Amino acid sequence: MTKYIGVLTAGGDSPGLNAALRGLGKSAIGYHNMSVIGFRDGFRGLVENRTLPLENATLSGILTLGGTILGTSRDKPDLMPVGSKVLDMTEVCVDNYRKHHLDVLVCIGGAGTLKNAYLLHKQGLNIVALPKTIDNDVWGTDVTFGFDTALGIATEAIDRLHSTAQAHHRIIIVEVMGHNTGWLALGAGVAGGADIILIPEIPYDINIVAEAAVRRWREGKRFSIIAVAEGAMSREDAAILQKAEERKKQAKKEEKEAAKAAIAELEAKHIGNTMRLAAELETMTGLESRVTILGHLQRGGTPSAADRLLATRLGTECTALIDKGVYGVLVAARGEGSKAIPLEQVAGKLKRVPLDHPWLESARRVGTCMGD
SS (H, E, C) 231-298: CCCEHHHHHHHHHHHHHHHHCCHHHHHHHHHHHHHHHHHHCCHHHHHHHHHHHHHCCCEEEEECHHHH
CB atoms within 10 A of CB 333: 21
Contact yes or no for 15/66 (Cβ under 8 A): yes
The CA distance from 264 to 248, in Å, is: 12
Q: Which one from 135, 148, 195, 307 is the annotated catalytic residue?
A: 135
Helix (H) or strand (E) holding 339: strand 337-342
Residue 299 gets which letter from DSSP? G
| Residues with Cβ within 8 Å of residue 159, at least 6 apart in sequence | 192
Q: Is 135 in the active site?
A: yes
In angstroms, the CA 178 to CA 150 distance is 10
* 51 vs 16: CA distance, rounded Å: 21
Whether 363 and 197 have beta carbons less than 8 Å apart is answered as yes
Q: Classify residue 230 by its DSSP letter.
A: T
- Crossing angle of helices 273-285 and 206-218, rounded to 10°: 50
Helix (H, G, I), strand (E, B) or coil at 9: strand
Residue 299: half-sphere exposure toward Cβ, Cα within 13 Å:
14
> Which run of H or E residues covers position 176?
strand 171-176
Catalytic residues: 135
